[in-house]
Chains A and B, each alone.
Chain A
């Protein structure tokens, strides 16, 4: 692995940085474009991109860096979303309450799921995380008071006492964008810290980690909880974006989408999940306009990336492959 100084220097040259920079500028200018063209759909689409990029980023922390392939990551989007929706329905509209509850509930769920699943490996781990997510999915369907299968409309966005008005779509977009950038920075710090090296070491060779004296389980569990908390926050954002929650937001295919985004963008790259989310959602949107069967094209395309572009899109841009 290159030293951080080297990769930092390297990151200022080459197509990878150029594209990341252009991407950030484009994302920053989306509201300007929407205002100029009067096209509100661009805002809706890109807010979704930014929020799901955050979810994919959190998945990438455990999957790309930690080697823990969770097939139930959409459950955190649901838990975060339902925390906001349920509290809103019960008359607790303050974001200062809703969001911390969303994060804490997701973290707690991650702690339980992680404690029970992290002792297994490979396919078993994938199946257990999926099973837990399905359980939460059916619990949500059973919540009759909160819409059951039909879901629940949220009539008021999270209130932040005049600090920021989330019903203003532009402020909301910039808040999501800022939170995404902060999350990318946070994950970057974590990955290169002592903690992050333990996580990466456990992905690379867990037997060796134990032999040199690391109790890897507790570090992986902590990482699992951090990722869950971050995705719970994305869930709270998503509920505020759509003003609607339903079990569908944690359907297992949503978990699959998040995996696809992380893999598509490049699992060992900081901007990978963002690039992946953007590509995935734009493709999905674009293809659904020209054909009734977008998956017929999307599917083989993803297969090609999985087979031929191991570093994802980031790899194609010349990013360093990190195993």
Chain B
């Protein structure tokens, strides 16, 4: 596995260096260092309040870190604004679905396509009739098996469908990397299984950082797993290593079993 690690660091697409963030006395990120190689699916697990969403927030630019550096591709993005990070290929899904409820599913994805097809200072043509926006949007919906719901308003979609739409919107921006914040949250077993299938199909093509509580999904999908506890990465390795790691069992996996 040392070989995997070295390769990952050498050609890492995303490299996080000693990232730190605290809110008052609470340490949310404690010198986190992490590197993701191209095509890798890296999962981050950890109990509630471990700082997972804070980490995603710093990667997307919504939260400014107190210290440390983030490199994406060839550039330092530590101080880059949110929309610019999306422009260079860093896409995210939200833990709580964050969509445009009064628009249809297709409108939602088409807007994501539009964000990446030049400026939007175009005042006259009906954007909903532009095939250059609608077609790629339809394909993105198709990739998450939502094509049949294209013309349904988001307000009328089921919870699971909204989660899928979240991912379709991220995909529509043609990202080099996806940050998925608990994509399975609140899903039934069938919906989860379908989403695992979707992610498996994406794997390899797009680098993915996955934050997820569903351990079955995590161990089925991840190339590597990092365990975050109180803002610190206490272990990082392949699913087998993590499963066998005593500290992890004690800090996290065991605790979960104890709680059922």
Contacts and interface: CB of A to CB of B under 8 A. Distances in A.
B128 A3 contact: yes
Contact of A1 (B62, B103, B129, B130): B103
A189 B121 CA distance: 13
Given A190-B123, A212-B115, A214-B120, A204 B98 contact: no
A122 interface: no
Interface in B64-105: 81-84, 86-87, 91-92, 94, 98-104
Given A201-B111, A323-B102, A213 B86 contact: yes
A230 B75 CA distance: 43
B151 interface: yes
Interface in A213-233: 213-216, 219, 222
B169 A193 contact: no
A211 interface: yes
Contacts of B103: 1, 200-201, 204
Contact of A195 (B84, B122, B129): B122
B133 to A, nearest CB: 8
Given A1-B103, A4-B129, A211 B122 contact: no
B126 interface: yes
Nearest to B109: A212
Contacts of B83: 210-211, 213-216
Nearest to A217: B83
Contacts of B40: none
Interface string B110-144: 01101110001111111111100100000000000
B121 A211 contact: no
A269 B112 CA distance: 25
Given A204-B103, A208-B98, A214-B83, A196 B116 contact: no
Contacts of A193: 122-127
A197 B101 contact: no
A240 B38 CA distance: 66
A196 B127 contact: yes
Contacts of A201: 100, 103, 111
Interface string A1-40: 1011000000000000000000000000000000000000
B130 to A, nearest CB: 8
A1 B107 CA distance: 8
B58 interface: no
A273 to B, nearest CB: 19
Contacts of A190: 123-124
A168 interface: no
A211 B153 contact: no
A212 B111 contact: yes
A194 B107 contact: no
A322 B102 CA distance: 6
A193 B125 CA distance: 5
Contacts of A253: none
Given A204-B102, A323-B101, A213 B116 contact: yes
Interface of A: 1, 3-4, 189-190, 192-198, 200-201, 204-205, 207-216, 219, 222, 322-323
23 contacts: A1-B103, A192-B127, A193-B126, A194-B120, A194-B122, A195-B123, A197-B114, A198-B111, A198-B114, A200-B103, A201-B111, A204-B103, A208-B100, A210-B82, A211-B86, A213-B87, A213-B112, A213-B115, A213-B116, A213-B173, A215-B81, A215-B83, A323-B102
